[in-house]
Structure 1
Amino acid sequence: MKKLLCSLPSVLVAGAIYLAPSMVAELSVAQAEENSKASVRVPAMRNRVYTQLARAQQIADQGDKAAGLAVLDEVKGRIDSLNSYEKAMLWNFYGFMHYGAEDMPKAIVSFKQVIAQEAIPESLRLSTLYSLAQLSMQQQDYQATLGYLSKWQSLNSKPLSADQHILFAQVYYQSKDFAKALTSIHNAMEVAKADNKPPKENWLILQRASYYELKQPENVTKVMEQLVRLYSKPEYWLQLAGMYGEIGAEDKQMAVMETAWQAGYVSKPQDIISLAQLYRYHGAPYKAAKVLDEAIALGNVVASEKHLEMLAQSYIAAKDDAKAIPVLIKASEIVENGKYDAQLAQVYLNSEKWSKAIDSAELALEKGDIARVGDMHLVLGMSYFNLQKFDESLAAFKAAEGIKSSEKTAKQWHKYVKREQGQYERLAMLN
C-alpha cells in the first residue's frame, strides 16, 4: 500500500487524482504537541495507540491490506477510550488504506470523520479538507468539492499555490462558471510566472476550453499560440490553423498549415484535404495538386471521385494539362455519367489534341448527365474545324445553336467556319 501521509496536495488532471504528500504521519507525542498551535488544545497521542496504528501501517505496507484494516478495527473497537486526536488519526489511517485500495467512497467517509473531531491540529484539518476536495472532484461531486475548498481556503493563512488555484479552476469549469475558472487559471499563471515557470500544458488546455465555452475565439487562438510555442504537439498546430481560419486570419492559417505539413504533422485525410483547399484559396494550385497527388499515391487519401476531381482541377488551374489528363481518365472510369469525359474534352481541346477531344466529347454526350451539353457541341465544332472537317464542324455548331447557353457562341463560330470553308474550297480549286 502507499505510505500513509497526512496531506494530499496535488493536481487533478482529466479525472485522475495525483498525490504529492507533504509530510509523513509520525505519530509521536512530540509531533502532536508541535502541531498543537490552534486555538483548541490538542491532546497528545498515547504510545499504545501510536504502536497499534504504526503496526497497521507496517502490515499494510507489506501487502496485507486486509490484516492492516483488521488492526485498525481492533483500535476502533475501543474508540470511546480514544481522545479526539487519536480518533482523527485512526480515521486518517482508514482513509489512506481505503484510498490505497481505490475505494474512494469509503476513503471520503473516513476523512469526513477526521474533520468531525474538534481538537485536532490545524494542519491536519487543512490537509484533510483539501484531500476531501480532491476526492470529491474525482467522484464528480462538484458542489461538495467547492464546499471543502471554500472551507479549506477560509482556514488557510498561506497564499495558494499554482496547483491549488488550478483545482479551483477545475471545479468552477465543471460547475460551468467559466469566468471564475479563467480567473483562477490566471492566478495560477501569475504564481508560476513569479517563480519563472511557464504555464503547465493542462492549465492551457483548461483555459482554452473555458474561452471556447464563452465563445471567445480570439482568446482561444491566443491560448493555442501558447500551446504551439511551449508544447508543439501536432494536434496543436492543426488546431491553431483551424482557429486562424475561424477568426479570418487566412494568411496565418496557411503559414501554420504549411509549417505543419513540412514537419510531418498533417497526416489525416481531412487535414490533407484542408491543406490542399487552402493552397487553392491562396492561389497556389500546383502545391495543392502536389499535396493531393502524393497523398493519394501513398494511400493517405482515398482516390474517390471527389478527390480525383479536386486533383484534376488543381492541375488544370496550375495549367498542367498533361498531369490533369490521367487523373480525369481515372475519374471517368469510376462514374457512369459523362461529367469527366466532358472535362477531358475541354483539356484535350486546350492541348490541341483534336481527335481525342472529339472522342471525349462524343463519349460525354453518349453517357449524358453533363452540366453543359452545348459546350460539348462547341468542342466538337472547334476540333473538327482544326482537322479541316468543315461539314462535321458546321453540323456540331448547328446543334450548339439549338441550346440557349451556347447559341451565341455557336452562331459566331458557324459563320466563321462557313467563311473559312468557302475560302478553303476556293484555294483548292486554284490548285
Structure 2
Amino acid sequence: MIKKLSLPLLSAALLFSASSVISNELGGTIAQAQENAATNDTVKVPAMRNRVYTQLARAQKLADEGNKQEGLAVLDEVKDRISSLNSYEQAMLWNFYGFMYYGSDNLPLAIENFERVVAEKAIPLSLRTSTLFSLAQLSMQQQNYDQSLNYLEQWQKVNTKPLTSTQQMLFAQINYQNKDYKASLKYVNEAIELALTKDETPKENWFILQRANYYELKQPENVVKVIEDLIRFHDKPKYWIQLSGMYGEVGEEEKQLAVMESAYQAGYVTTSQDIITLIQLYRFHGVPYKAAKLLAKAIEDGSVAAEEKYLDMLAQSYIAAKNDEKAIPVLVKAAEIAETGKFDAYLAQSYLNLENWDLAITSAKKAIKRGGVDRLGNMHLVIGMSNFNLKKFDESLMAFEDAQKLKETSKTAEQWYQYVKREQNAHMQLAMLNKAS
C-alpha cells in the first residue's frame, strides 16, 4: 500500500497579488486604457472619455496611497452616472471595483465585479482574457473549483497565446481538486517539460502535485521517479527518507537500505522514527551488528528513548549478531523495568550460551516465577542443561521431567532426560570403580 503523500496548496506565487497581476492585467489600469481600446481586433471598442479617465485615475491614486474607502467613494460617484457611460467605461469601472475589493480581501465582491467586466460585450480582448483568468484564480482561492474550471475554459477560448507553465499549473491544481487526476497530471507534466526545455528548474510544488496525482492513480513506480526528481532539483532531507520508503513499497529493498544509509551518513536521519526504520532495515538485511551499534548510540544520546521495546530490539540485535556479552547488560536493564519474566528468559539463554551455568539457572527460575514467558518449557531445559554441566544430575533430571510436561519441549526434554540418566549412571559407575581401586 502506498503511503499517503501530503499535498500543500500551490505557492502564493501562482495566485495573483493585487499589486502585481490585477494592476498589470488592467494594462497599467488607467495609463493604457485608451491603448487597449484601440488595439482590439475583433470587437469595436468605444474610447474612454477624459472625464471618466480622470475620475478612475483619482480612484486608483487614492487606492495606491492606501485610502481604499476614499477610492471606493470616487468609484461610487462614477457609478451614479453609469447610464452615461459606454460599455468600455462601465467595464473599467467594474474592473476598478474588483481591484479595490480584492485589495480589501473581499473576494466575493471582487468576483462579482470582475464578472460584470466580462459581461460587457464591447471590451478589449486583452481585458476579457486577463479578467477571465483572474476570475479563475479568485474562484480557486474560494475553493469553488467547478467555477474556476469553467472560467479557465472560457479563457482558453479567447486566449491566443500558448499556455505558460504557471497557467498549466493552475489547470493542474484545479483538476486535482476536482479529482480528475489524469487531466491534472497532463497539465503538470507539460508544465515541467516546458520548464526543462527552457533550461529552467521546475518549481518544487509542481513535483509535489505530480507526485500526488501518481499516488491517487496508484502508480507507485512513478511516485518513486518524482521523488528522485525532487532530490535532483530540490534536495531536502525529507525526500531522501520518502524515497527510501517508496523503494520499499515497490519491492526494491536493496535500494531502500542504500538510500536510507546514505541519508544517515548525510545527517538526515534524526528523528526517533527514522532511526528505528534504519535499524529495522539493517536487521531485515541480515546486518544485526550495525543495527545494534546504531540503536545503542541512539539510546545513549537520547535520540531513542530507553523504553522496554527498544531495549528488547537492542538486545535481540546483539543476540542475532552472536554477541551475548553486549546483550547481557541491556537485558539486565530491561529486566529491571519489565513487568514479566520475558527478559529474564533471554538472560537465561544468553548465560547458557556463555556457559555461565549458575546465572543461567538463576535467571531461568526468575523467568518462571515472574511469568509472561512465551515458551516456559525452554526455561526448564536451561535449568536442566546448566545443572547437568555442573554435575548436578538429580536437579537436572527434575528439570527435564518438568519440561516433559509441556508440549513444546516434551520431545527434547525426553531425549535430554535419557542422556543425563545414562551419564549419571556412568558417573556413578566410574565413582564406584575409583572407590574400589
Do both share a fold (TM > 0.5)?
yes
Q: Distance in 1 between matches of 2:189 and 2:14?
A: 22
User: Which residue of structure 1 aligns with residue 55 of structure 2?
Assistant: 52
- SS of 1:63's equivalent in the other structure is coil
Question: What displacement does 1:428 show?
Answer: 4.6
Does residue 123 (structure 1) correspond to residue 126 (structure 2)? The answer is yes
Residue number among 97, 100, 118 corresponding to 2:100 in the alignment: 97
Residue number among 376, 379, 383 corresponding to 2:379 in the alignment: 376
Q: Distance in 1 between matches of 2:73 and 2:33?
A: 24
Q: Which moved more, 1:57-66 or 1:410-419?
A: 410-419
CA change 1:329–1:28 in 2 (3 A) is: closer
CA change 1:76–1:294 in 2 (3 A) is: same
Does residue 239 (structure 1) correspond to residue 242 (structure 2)? The answer is yes
1:256-292 Cα offsets, whole Å, 9 max, x none, are 1111222222223222222111111100111111222
Q: Which moved more, 1:277-286 or 1:60-69?
A: 60-69
Residue 243 of structure 2 contacts residue 259 of structure 2 at CA under 8 Å; is this kept in 1? yes
Q: Distance in 1 between matches of 2:140 and 2:183?
A: 17
Residue 283 of structure 2 contacts residue 317 of structure 2 at CA under 8 Å; is this kept in 1? yes
Question: What displacement does 1:297 show?
Answer: 2.3
Question: What displacement does 1:209 show?
Answer: 0.7
Residue number among 24, 32, 35 corresponding to 1:31 in the alignment: 35
1:269-328 Cα offsets, whole Å, 9 max, x none, are 222222111111100111111222222223332322222211111110011112211221
User: Which residue of structure 2 aligns with residue 4 of structure 1?
Assistant: none
1:272-351 equivalences under 5 Å are 272-351=275-354
Q: Which moved more, 1:418-427 or 1:182-191?
A: 418-427
Question: What displacement does 1:123 show?
Answer: 0.4
Does residue 358 (structure 1) correspond to residue 361 (structure 2)? The answer is yes
- Superposition RMSD on alpha carbons, in Å? 2.0
1:384-421 Cα offsets, whole Å, 9 max, x none, are 12222222222222222232322232233233333333
- Percent identical pairs in the alignment equals 60
Q: Which moved more, 1:172-181 or 1:60-69?
A: 60-69
Residue number among 399, 402, 407 corresponding to 2:405 in the alignment: 402
1:204-223 equivalences under 5 Å are 204-223=207-226
Q: Distance in 2 between matches of 1:421 and 1:28?
A: 112
User: Which residue of structure 2 aligns with residue 17 of structure 1?
Assistant: 15
User: Which residue of structure 2 aligns with residue 8 of structure 1?
Assistant: none
1:340-372 Cα offsets, whole Å, 9 max, x none, are 111110001001111111110010111123121
TM, length-normalised to structure 1: 0.92
Q: Distance in 2 between matches of 1:32 and 1:236?
A: 47
Q: Distance in 2 between matches of 1:427 and 1:382?
A: 21
**Structure 1: runs of 5 or more not aligned:** 1-10
Q: Which moved more, 1:249-258 or 1:125-134?
A: 249-258
**Structure 2: runs of 5 or more not aligned:** 1-8
Question: What displacement does 1:18 show?
Answer: 3.7
Q: Distance in 2 between matches of 1:50 and 1:414?
A: 110
CA change 1:253–1:427 in 2 (3 A) is: same
Q: Aligned partner of 1:57: which letter?
A: Q
CA change 1:411–1:14 in 2 (3 A) is: farther
Residue 89 of structure 1 contacts residue 114 of structure 1 at CA under 8 Å; is this kept in 2? yes
Residue number among 65, 74, 77 corresponding to 1:74 in the alignment: 77
Q: Distance in 2 between matches of 1:48 and 1:234?
A: 60
Q: Aligned partner of 1:26: which letter?
A: I
Does residue 108 (structure 1) correspond to residue 116 (structure 2)? The answer is no
Q: Aligned partner of 1:63: which letter?
A: G
User: Which residue of structure 1 aligns with residue 189 of structure 2?
Assistant: 186
Residue 404 of structure 2 contacts residue 413 of structure 2 at CA under 8 Å; is this kept in 1? yes
4+ long deviations beyond 4 Å: 425-429
CA change 1:229–1:405 in 2 (3 A) is: same
Across the two proteins, how many residue pairs are aligned to each other?
420
User: Which residue of structure 2 aligns with residue 199 of structure 1?
Assistant: 202
Question: What displacement does 1:33 show?
Answer: 4.5
Q: Distance in 2 between matches of 1:126 and 1:15?
A: 20
